[in-house]
């Protein structure tokens, strides 16, 4: 039996060749257990950018539920971007104050951060983020997980992974590869043999889960849910290659139709890069579209009778005001509506109000004065 450094606080069960079990409580006693068949602790940790949010900067959105004895992962979809999510976590918005996850993975909406992993909670941080719980809608494997591990384990013992993009945003090859490697790493550290993944040998239940297993929402949405078998199969192959000492060359390439990721993507992890540069196709996707409602309550229409839709316009006043603020604050909310309301007393022209999904409000009090941010008194758009 070979002894090598391993993660403190782990609790390893079966290795796949006889019963081998070890519990560790301190770094001095932490070990890797090796049997004739499986060696834990050799799955490489993927490149991770530490973006740790300490309690002073992030005083809420987490609980101290005791030591985090990680048994698996829970996958989510951000409904946004890496920068947007991090900004949301530290914002004054009530929802943002109560939100936090372990990891985020960049994708199609993040420019050069595609495939880059950000870590908001360090491995040795004992705070349990409120990403995956509470269990207000147990389904599928979530029922067995809670029965075996308890409700507190949802946030405490699963590392939460937020995948950048909206529910219908395509998953990029780099993003998929990063997800596979991160899932493989966490489950190997949790003592899961490749041939039993996604089931944990100690409890006998699935511990590679998704948010919908615990919540009433459909997170991570149809695109990522449709890739579940794909990313689990690749994570299993990565685990097998490392645990069996076969080397990464034995890991099969990504499935047909998904080009292989560029190996050197870690070279472009600039924290100051603006992934939403002028001309990025992601801008129109993030901005969305809306109709305009007149003071009368009627929807503005084209001469032919079709409702007129307002989408992202690189030269438009509203679009450019949105983009300037989004770049400044790191959050790219979707447009929620545009309507007329009665103007100031003594004016004939109605005021125009444009609302965004996160509470931003653009206001023009008449046809002449400039647009201002109504949610930020005195701030001109």
| pLDDT value of position 194 | 95
| pLDDT value of position 276 | 53
Is residue 99 within 8 A of residue 131, CB to CB? The reply is yes
Domains of the chain: 42-268 (3.40.80.10), 281-380 (no CATH)
How far apart CA 287 and CA 188 sit, in angstroms, is: 39
How far apart CA 84 and CA 93 sit, in angstroms, is: 13
H-run or E-run covering 49:
strand 48-50
Residues sharing a CB contact under 8 Å with residue 297, sequence separation 6 or more, in sequence order: none
Is residue 212 within 8 A of residue 161, CB to CB? The reply is no
| pLDDT value of position 340 | 93
Count CB-CB contacts under 10 A for residue 140.
Answer: 13
How far apart CA 34 and CA 36 sit, in angstroms, is: 7
Residues sharing a CB contact under 8 Å with residue 147, sequence separation 6 or more, in sequence order: 205
Chain-centre distance for alpha carbon 161: 6
DSSP string over 311-324: E--TT-HHHHHHHH
Q: Which two tokens stand for residue 73?
A: 């992962």
Please list the residues that pair with 12 across neighbouring strands: 22
How far apart CA 333 and CA 316 sit, in angstroms, is: 17
How far apart CA 31 and CA 41 sit, in angstroms, is: 9
DSSP string over 125-173: ---EESSS---SS--THHHHHHHHH-TTHHHHSEEEEEESB-TTSPPPH
| pLDDT value of position 265 | 36
- pLDDT, one tens digit for every residue, the chain (381 residues): 233 333 333 333 334 443 333 333 333 333 344 444 899 999 999 999 999 999 998 999 999 999 999 999 999 999 889 988 888 898 877 888 899 999 999 999 888 899 999 999 999 999 999 999 888 889 999 999 999 999 999 999 999 999 999 998 999 999 999 999 999 999 999 999 999 999 999 999 999 999 999 998 899 999 999 999 999 999 999 999 999 988 765 565 555 545 444 433 333 333 334 445 566 666 777 788 899 999 999 999 999 999 999 998 988 999 999 988 887 776 778 899 999 998 877 667 889 999 998 889 999 987 667 899 998 877 787
Report residue 259: phi and psi, to 5°: -60, 150
Please list the residues that pair with 375 across neighbouring strands: none
How far apart CA 56 and CA 140 sit, in angstroms, is: 37
How far apart CA 37 and CA 109 sit, in angstroms, is: 42
């Amino acid at each position: 039996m070979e002894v090598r450094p391993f993660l403190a606080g782990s609790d390893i069960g079966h290795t796949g060749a006889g019963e081998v079990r070890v519990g560790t409580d301190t770094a001095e006693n932490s070990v890797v257990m090796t049997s004739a068949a499986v060696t834990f602790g050799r799955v490489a940790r993927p490149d991770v950018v530490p973006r740790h949010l300490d309690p002073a900067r992030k005083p809420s959105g987490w609980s101290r539920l005791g030591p985090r004895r990680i048994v698996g992962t829970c996958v989510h979809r951000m409904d946004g971007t890496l920068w947007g999510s991090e900004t949301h976590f530290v914002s004054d918005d009530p929802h943002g104050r109560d939100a936090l996850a372990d990891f985020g993975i960049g994708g199609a909406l993040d420019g050069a951060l595609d495939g880059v992993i950000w870590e908001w909670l360090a491995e040795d941080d004992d705070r349990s983020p409120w990403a995956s719980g509470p269990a207000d809608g147990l389904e599928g494997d979530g029922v067995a997980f809670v029965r075996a591990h308890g409700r507190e384990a949802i946030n405490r013992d699963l590392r939460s992974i937020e995948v950048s993009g909206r529910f219908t945003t395509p998953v990029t090859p780099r993003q998929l590869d990063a997800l596979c490697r991160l899932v493989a790493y966490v489950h190997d550290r949790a003592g899961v043999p490749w041939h039993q993944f996604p089931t944990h040998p100690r409890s006998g239940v699935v511990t590679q889960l998704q948010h919908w297993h615990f919540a009433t929402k459909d997170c991570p949405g149809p695109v990522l849910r449709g890739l579940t078998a794909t990313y689990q199969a690749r994570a299993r192959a990565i685990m097998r290659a490392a645990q069996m000492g076969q080397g990464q060359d034995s890991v099969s390439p990504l499935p047909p139709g998904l080009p292989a990721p560029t190996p050197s993507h870690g070279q472009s992890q600039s924290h100051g890069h603006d992934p939403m540069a002028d001309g990025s196709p992601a801008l129109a996707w993030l901005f969305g579209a809306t109709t305009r409602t007149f003071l009368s309550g009627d929807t503005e229409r084209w001469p032919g009778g079709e409702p007129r839709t307002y989408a992202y316009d690189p030269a438009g006043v509203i679009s450019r005001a949105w983009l300037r603020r989004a770049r400044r604050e790191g959050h790219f909310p979707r447009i929620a509506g545009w309507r007329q309301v009665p103007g100031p007393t003594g004016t004939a022209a109605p005021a125009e109000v444009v609302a965004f999904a996160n509470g931003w409000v653009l206001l023009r009090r008449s046809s002449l004065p400039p647009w201002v941010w109504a949610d930020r008194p005195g701030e001109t758009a």
